[in-house]
Amino acid sequence: MIPRITPRALLPGRAIPFYYHITKTAHTSHTRTMASSTSTAPPPSIPQADLDSFHQHLQSSTRILALLGAGLSASSGLPTFRGAGGIWRTHDSMSLATPEAFAANPSLVWQFYSYRRHKAMQASPNAAHHALAALARTKPHFMTLSQNVDGLSQRADHPRDKLQLLHGTLFEVKCTNFYCKHSEENFDDPIVPALAIPRDETDPTTNEAREHDISDENVHLENIPTQSLPTCPSCKTGLLRPGVVWFGERLPTKVLNAVEEFIEQSERIDLILVVGTSAKVYPAADYVNQAREKGARVAVVNMDRTDAYAQGLYDGDWFFHGDAAVIVPALLEPVTGKLEAPGGKL
């Protein structure tokens, strides 16, 4: 098949412009205000022409996909997998996200996930989570495919039927006993006493105990005996595990079917937003190609220029360089309206 468009990177004299170099981060939560059809001035380093061409395409788009990754939650204070933030103690985070790691050292892997549950619960959705949720409430044929397990999109009130959790969630746990099908939603922190984050003695001047940062290899970590780790309340013997998808595991069938149904429903997809992901993990990354095959233009939002190339940019695509929490709300504003922080405007 002859491609509809020529890869931009391969066109002579066409360098990919590094449009948006924005370093501001946003930690506040936001609510949606009235929608407007005209865009306001972009952040200073965003060329108006590029913002306008994206806005024009967004407004005329009906069927839209978004593929989200860990970079979306970076401004909320949660680390990504690859790069500097992806080391937990001495371990590459991805080496802990495997069934083999859990089988070899359930104590360590549970401590990793218990810590991440704790951090995710302390974090707040940022302006990009809120903007995407607002887009989902406004555009009936917008589907979000999130690789994130942190629950921040759900807490931004992203409509549940418009959100496919490709890699599960930290807040579901399931039994490892093959014959037991128990799974449950669980927001207990800690999930069992043995997994409580160790703390200092209470400071008598503030009455507060400081948490130890167990992601730091210099902080001592106990080896927790298996009987003190989360156990299945149903079969009483199986070890519970986090309800996330590890390498080598199949994505949830219900999720795969829902995504396939959305993609197959129509001859055409107008746009795919690729936000804060290195797009290196499959099958998630392949959804970008599937959307392209249905005619979609691709808009990448990423803090790292080199991650723009993972899928290859084509003529007519956009690469927005910078923090998703700043760029995504600006991109979606003509449809979602300006987002306001609870205490006032952004």
Which residue ranges make up the site for Zn ion (CB under 5 A)? 175, 177, 180, 182, 232, 234-235, 238
Tokens representing 333? 């504003």
The count of C-alpha atoms lying within 13 angstroms of the C-alpha of 75, restricted to the half-sphere facing its C-beta, is: 26
81 binds, among Zn ion, ligand BJW, none (CB under 5 to 8 A by kind): ligand BJW
Report how far Cα 186 is from the mean position of its chain's Cα atoms: 20
**Is 195 within 8 Å of 111 (Cβ atoms)?**
yes
Give residues 118-177 in contact with ligand BJW (rule: CB under 6 A).
Answer: 147, 149, 167
The residue to which tokens 């406004």 are assigned: 138
Tokens representing 233? 């309340």
* Choice between 81 and 287, CB closer to ligand BJW: 81
Terminal alpha carbon distance of the chain: 46
The residue to which tokens 């993972």 are assigned: 310
Q: Residue 166 CB, nearest distance to ligand BJW (Å)?
A: 7
| Catalytic residue, candidates 30, 158, 167, 321 | 167
Question: Residue 281 interacts with ligand BJW (CB under 6 A)?
Answer: yes
Question: Residue 80 interacts with ligand BJW (CB under 6 A)?
Answer: yes
- For ligand BJW, the nearest residue by Cβ is 71
Q: Residue 241 CB, nearest distance to Zn ion (Å)?
A: 11
For residue 145, give the amino acid letter.
L
**Is 58 within 8 Å of 271 (Cβ atoms)?**
yes
What 3-state DSSP class applies to 38? coil
* Choice between 69 and 329, CB closer to ligand BJW: 69
Bridge pairing between strands 339-341 and 31-32: antiparallel
158 binds, among Zn ion, ligand BJW, none (CB under 5 to 8 A by kind): none
* Choice between 37 and 306, CB closer to ligand BJW: 306
What 3-state DSSP class applies to 7? strand
For residue 303, give the amino acid letter.
M
DSSP per position, 105-148: -HHHHHHHHHHHHHHHHH----HHHHHHHHHHHH-TTEEEEE--
Question: Residue 248 interacts with ligand BJW (CB under 6 A)?
Answer: yes
167 in active site? yes
Only one of the segments 11-19, 74-82, 171-179, 204-212 lies at the binding site for ligand BJW (rule: CB under 6 A); that segment is 74-82
Contacts of 101 (CB under 8 A, 6+ apart): 95, 108, 109
Q: Residue 245 CB, nearest distance to ligand BJW (Å)?
A: 4
Q: Residue 145 CB, nearest distance to ligand BJW (Å)?
A: 11
Question: Residue 302 interacts with ligand BJW (CB under 6 A)?
Answer: yes
345 binds, among Zn ion, ligand BJW, none (CB under 5 to 8 A by kind): none
235 binds, among Zn ion, ligand BJW, none (CB under 5 to 8 A by kind): Zn ion
Binding site for ligand BJW (CB under 6 A): 69-71, 74-75, 80-82, 86, 94, 97, 147, 149, 167, 244-250, 276-278, 280-283, 301-304, 307, 323-324
Just list the catalytic residues. 167
